[in-house]
Amino acid sequence: MKFIQKDIQKLKNSLKYTFILSIILFLITGGCSREKVISLNEKINRIDIAISKTIADFDINSSNLFEEIYQIKEKNDTTFTFIEKTYRIKNKAVDFKDVLKKLDKNLTELSASITRSKFSYLENYNLATFDIKTRGLKVYTLNLESVSKKKSCPKIAIVIDDWGYNLNNLGRVWDLDIPMTFSILPNLPYSTVIAKEAIKKNYEVILHLPMESHNAAANEKHVVKTGMNGRQIAEILKRALITVPQAKGVSNHMGSKATEDKDILKILFRQMKKNDLYFLDSLVTNRTKSEEAAKEVGLKIAKRSVFIDNRTDFDYIKKQMQELVAIAKAKGEAIGIGHDKKSTLLALKEIVPELKKENIDFIYLSEMVKPVRD
């Protein structure tokens, strides 16, 4: 009897283990069969999701999606949806080989593979193409385009000061055939005529506003001086702008003392802001407070890089222009100030064509002014 009970227990244990093994085998084979019955289109959909997750790790997402194409294809008696997606990435470096490694790993987990990867590298445009296959069929093409900005040319703004006394050099400006900014003194016999003529020929005009200096008496009428109140400065600016119509900005004529006084500049800048004007600091003192005042008022501003004609001989002007170009190449842009002089404009007529060959981009001053940032 005892032997019979032992045999029965052995049989129960055997059946128990057999049942457990059967369950395990069912789960394994059932899982495989479920994988087999997944349709090809469902598989392609999973590949699409995996690709989206992979490239998201490189900050490429739906906002970069430039084009998507879905095509119904038939091959080997199999009908499926072929997908091609193109993502365009602007002004951001992406290492296509790193994308390839990660993509290959993630697709392998889906029993898919990259059958072809092709990289093209041009000056401002890079392209990577990945062809993806599963179940013996090419089902997906991923294109990644990396588009960078064209390398910008160095930019130079030429400002010619002190217009208004006569019309002698106007024709020489037209001969230069470059964007140029006229900085015109107010209340002079030819201030308004020159402003209107320059505007007519699509040049830019700013007001060259007389301001108080440390070491020279201002000969002009209506000079902005330290100690003035808001009403006085507003009146001076108003009178000046009447004689220089359509001015887009203001630069300081002389003004070493006034530009060191932040309070005076703030009063002036508030009035300028009402008239939607910017300020060019001629930098006649290294103690200027123009940036501080402009920041507090919220006024756009620019600063002179080089005076090009403190001497009138050609070699000096050429040397100064070379310095201006060097600054522009180093910083991307530079501002050169010259004066209403025959020697200056004749020198520029000879120098400018050579600079154009160097891909120097001449622009108006207003294209360089900007708010003061921290």
Residues 230 and 133 in one domain: no
Q: What is the pTM of this model?
A: 0.63
Residues 195 and 325 in one domain: yes
Q: Which of 106-115, 123-132, 134-143, 203-212 has the lowest mean pLDDT?
A: 123-132
Domain boundary among the residues 125, 147, 169 is at: 147
Residues 57 and 166 in one domain: no
Average pLDDT over residues 222-241: 96
Residue 345 reports pLDDT greater than 50 = yes
Domain residues for the domain of 46 are 40-147
Average pLDDT over residues 318-336: 96
Average pLDDT over residues 96-115: 93
Q: What is the 3-state secondary structure (H, E, C) of the chain?
A: CHHHHHHHHHHHHHHHHHHHHHHHHHHHHHHHHHHHHCCHHHHHHHHHHHHHHHHHCCCCCHHHEEEEEEEEEEECCEEEEEEEEEEEEECCCCCHHHHHHHHHHHHHCCCEEEEEEEEEECCCEEEEEEEEEECCEEEEEEEEEEECCCCCCCEEEEEEEEECCCCCCHHHHHHHCCCCEEEECCCCCCHHHHHHHHHHCCCEEEEEEEECCCCCCCCCCCCECCCCCHHHHHHHHHHHHHHCCCCCEEEEEECCCHHHCHHHHHHHHHHHHHCCCEEEECCCCCCCCHHHHHHHHCCCEEECCEECCCCCCHHHHHHHHHHHHHHHHHHCEEEEEEECCHHHHHHHHHHHHHHHHCCCEEECHHHCCECCCC
Residues 97 and 209 in one domain: no
Residues 48 and 185 in one domain: no
Residues 116 and 245 in one domain: no
pLDDT of residue 125: 83
More confident residue, 358 or 36: 358
Residues 160 and 61 in one domain: no
- Count: domains in the chain: 2
Q: What percent of the chain has pLDDT over 90?
A: 77
Domain membership flag for residue 22: no
Domain membership flag for residue 16: no
Q: Which of 118-127, 139-148, 277-286 has the lowest mean pLDDT?
A: 118-127
Domain membership flag for residue 329: yes
